Structure 1
Amino acid sequence: MDDGAEPIRAELVRAELVRDEQVAREISHPYQQAKALIAVARRAEAAAEPEQAERSIGAITHPQLRAGGFAALALTVAGNGDSARSKRLLGQAELAADSIANTPCREQAISEIARTCAQVGDLPRAEALARSITTEPLRATTLADVASVIAAAGAPDRAASIIHTIDQPRTRARALAETVRTCLDLGDQEQAEQLARLILEPRPQAEALAAVAHHLAKAGEPRRAEQLARSIADPSEQARALAAMAPDLPPADGRRVLAHALVIGHWQLCLPTLLRLEPGALAVLSEELLDTTDQADPA
């Protein structure tokens, strides 16, 4: 009974998908049409009807939306373990993108495909597509996103080499900082420190070095952590880094480091840590502030 019912149910699902696709094709608004056809494709993919899923995406009339639809389907397919089909769908996405006459729209579609290639593990193709973008801000952000995925895949050196080709200083700094965090997540403190020192912008570099120092402090390397934090050039940023890592140092080292932070930076930067390590210090600071206020206002 069940054996005979299953083919009937499958045929009913196929008929419903075909009917829904036909209805979606009739929608005149490009975005609404794409939204409806992508919904049909998702249902078809979930129902193990891959041909119907691809046909529905291929029916999207707007080329940029069609490219995005194929890229989204490729990501779903890759998640299901079919890398060969995912790669073929990304090829379909590229064909749709290449048919876009407007350069900014075409390159936006290529950027999306490059990110998807990176997500599904086709890193060489992702990098090649990112480099093919001629609009500099978009090219920079796409390369940064691809580099981030490459770093997370365990190749921070390759990611760094890509980041160095980014011409936008802020985007390059952001990408390096993100790669530093990835290296720390992977437990590679040395690589993280090297990348942090390659950041040219003072504030992002200080924040990256502080993150590495804090990680070292938590990992039980107090001397190296302190040395790295003290290498931060800006006194306020150095004080912030020292204060943040102080609770993770041995008690004597923590108090000494915090004392140095108080000397070189504003006390407010150190207040949260100070209250954790020396709760009684709040009363002393309050008295000092009240005395200063009284002297400044004789009335």
Structure 2
Amino acid sequence: MTTSAPTIAYSITQLDKQAEALALLAGSVARAGDQEHARSLLSHAEAIITSVIHPDRQASALVRLAETTADLGDHAHAETIARSITPSDEQAQPLASLAGMVARAGDYEHAEAIIRSITHPDQQAWALVSLVRTVAEAGDQERAEALTSSITHLQRRAEALLLVAKYCTRQRGLRAVAEVLTTSSWHFPVSGALRLEPDVVPAIMAELVIAWRLEPSDTTTRPAEL
């Protein structure tokens, strides 16, 4: 980190860009190991942002500030900054990023609470899928399934179901794939699946029977898109 970097940042005359530059610089300083200097730069950036009059420019600078603050580990303050952003739709990006960091730290309940507070439906669904991945990779299969069941966006729910299929037990995976096939338009490579595991297609068909609540002999009346 050169001594001229802070000077260059402070020389920027447009206040929102100056604040964003200071936030970026704080991230670099923190990665170099000087946490105290990094926090000082962030404090200066936050003070500068209060003087930004243009709402969109202020929101953009606050997004950068919130994300950098979260990167430095101050999740509580990052959340406060993110929730101060107006309009509320602009909060989605920093809150989703923060939720990911909180989840990777193992606090799944707090991460979910942050995601549920996101007002933009698509962004919330995307963040839930990301949380499903983190939870499933960590081995919390019941929570992964419960989160997936709560996703109402069909495409995002299908993505979450496929993550359950990938990371959870075989039986949970079969149920997840069966649900994908009953709720979404997906092409399933039968020949490849048969080569990998000969009994996978009959097993999925059995789960489809349960999902459709049909008698086994009736499965031909509602063809799956295989």
Give the structure-1-normalised TM-score. 0.63
What pairs up with 1:1-299 in 2 under 5 angstroms?
A: 45-46=1-2, 49=3, 52-216=4-168, 221-230=169-178, 232=179, 235=182, 237=184, 246=193, 251-257=197-203, 264-267=223-226
CA contact (8 A) 1:74 1:85 kept: yes
State the shift of 1:91 in Å.
0.7
CA distance in 2, matches of 1:245, 1:93: 55
Aligned residues of 1:229 and 1:242 also touching (Cα < 8 A): no
Range that drifts further, 54-63 or 66-75 = 54-63
Shift of 1:146: 1.9
* Separation of aligned partners in 2, 1:265 and 1:56: 61
Structure 2 partner of 1:23: none
Deviations 1:222-266 (A, max 9, x none): 223223433x276263875796995798x3531423556796422
Contact 1:147 1:163 in 2 (8 A): yes
Greater share of helix residues, 1 or 2? 1
AA paired with 1:60?
A: I
- Tell me, yes or no, if the aligned pair for 2:23 and 2:41 is still in contact at 8 Å: yes
User: What percent of counterpart residues are identical?
Assistant: 31
SS of structure 1 residue aligned to 2:199? helix
2:135–2:143 CA contact under 8 A, matched in 1: yes
SS in 2 for 1:166: coil
Q: Secondary structure at the match of 1:154?
A: coil
Which residues of structure 2 form unaligned runs of 5+? Answer: 209-218
Query: What is the RMSD of the two structures over their aligned residues, measured on CA atoms?
Result: 2.9
Higher relative contact order, chain-length normalized (CA < 8 Å, sep 6+): 2
CA distance in 2, matches of 1:240, 1:176: 24
Structure 2 counterpart SS, 1:101: coil
Q: Distance in 2 between matches of 1:215 and 1:98?
A: 45
The answer to whether the 8 Å contact 1:213/1:241 transfers is: no
How big is each residue's C-alpha offset from its partner over 1:66-119, in whole Å with a ceiling of 9 and x where there is no partner? 101110111001111222221111111111211111122111111111011112
**Does the CA contact (< 8 Å) of 1:176 and 1:195 recur in 2?**
yes
Distance 1:142 1:149, change over 3 A: same
Whether contact under 8 Å (2:177, 2:204) holds in the other structure is no
Q: Which residue of 2 aligns with 1:281?
A: none
Residues 155/63 of structure 1: CA separation in 2 closer, same or farther (3 Å cut): same
CA deviations on 1:117-155 (whole Å, 9 max, x unpaired) are 112211111111010112122122322222122223332
CA distance in 1, matches of 2:191, 2:22: 46
Question: Which amino acid in the other structure matches residue 163 of structure 1?
Answer: I
Q: CA deviation at 1:202?
A: 2.1
- Conserved 8 A contact 1:173-1:204: yes
Give the letter aligned to residue 225 of structure 2.
H
What's the secondary structure of 2:152's corresponding residue? coil
How many residues of Structure 1 are paired with residues of Structure 2 in the alignment? 213
Contact 1:196–1:209 at 8 Å: present in 2 too? yes
